Structure 1
């Protein structure tokens, strides 16, 4: 943890606020933020992390964060962290760090000091001629385990420390399987041409501000199209894929669960089919039941394609 930030958080005096949060709860959240502050007094714990630390509910945590900002104790830097770039980075305002402490200075003794008349008083002063302040400033080595707890690279998961770009093979395999379960993702991901298509995909999207999750989502479609149109054995031999590959029997259970969630968050679809006051979870459950019916799934196929389904459901008599 940051010792300076924690010491500051313990000593902060909270202003009285009508209908505001209890001061002990505000100090609890502030201490949790200070616990994750680095040497620059910034921190970026997620709301879920603050909930776990304080055992408060999400609504209370968000209310206290807003009050701490209004009190001028923390500040939203505008920077965002995390895989989705949605975790806010806060700066603790008013922390007096070691960089602000007074550096010890030297003082000359009174000129009447007998030592000045000593034969030793030449061009090089003796140690007795100077007096150093007795104040000592504690220091912590940069690599000390006490120097921060959450924000330093040593505490990050290996996957985060070793991550070099947006590509996540686990996420990519899932998206390929959901889009077309007739194709083994390993066939595509282990192919020599996949790296070539990755370079082309990155060039195509270099000017677009897409998060890592969307990059993997669209890259799955890119690879599937490349496989079908250029690299599959059927394409090389000059004949089309079998009808069952283009026309899946029905949606699998995994596809139904995934696309039900995506359709529940689709603005146009949810606005058309949701009931007043219905939550996303209840809407997704109703959609999943409907998708089990092949006739209904075929009717919603245009919406399914908008959320990532790339096949063609079989026409029913």
Structure 2
């Protein structure tokens, strides 16, 4: 999910055309697209997904998409995704990121050297220390705000950010989920990198934004720590029988059924909170399903979404 895209979708002014769809319906579909946009402001939800998100019929969804394209708010990039390579990729037009823009200043027209047809309002320029090219100066209240000084104003993590992982977000998610786990133990462990690679492989085909990747990875690490790497897990690992494990949800089953339960109308209506997206609700459900007792309580719902086994524990 792109915060910039969502903010843009809320603020954009929609047109009401004669014979066209109502503005509230267009706004709802635009918000659904923005909610699934990545950092490049592109998204590719299927028509079925949009129908499920907005609760509009397929014909209405397709009509509104055509109107949004006609209004210049979205663009069909021509790229196709999905297993069948038929899911259209749309770009949200007009979304502005939060990057700094050059300050414009008026040139002094009294200077004889500047009397030319190209005289006007342009970014101020200064020589780059690395080459003969001239680069825009980004003015601000601090003398350290400039292209040459930009890196030293950022944290080490911001300078070196090359992927989705944010240690600060990850630490906060783990502490909120289980305050008894010492994040420093996980961060300094030799197994965390291995779990990160496994997590990335598992989610390679999913279109998840950075925030959701950190959110899900926190649950992944907590589950791995509890089940494999904590002292108690190591000491008791040999005590679990094959039969006992067969009566519990596997890690893959947890993620599959958590997603299905998040889309289950009755279940989602009872356990979701205002503002929860399907992805966020699924993540919360996955954490709960890791507890065998809680999974047993929800066994009736699990069977409604395809679970065929029998879970251990009291109902």
Q: State if a TM-score over 0.5 links the two structures.
A: no
Higher Rg of the two aligned structures = 1
Give me the TM-score of the superposition, normalised by structure 2. Answer: 0.36
Which structure has more RCO (C-alpha within 8 Å, separation ≥ 6)?
1
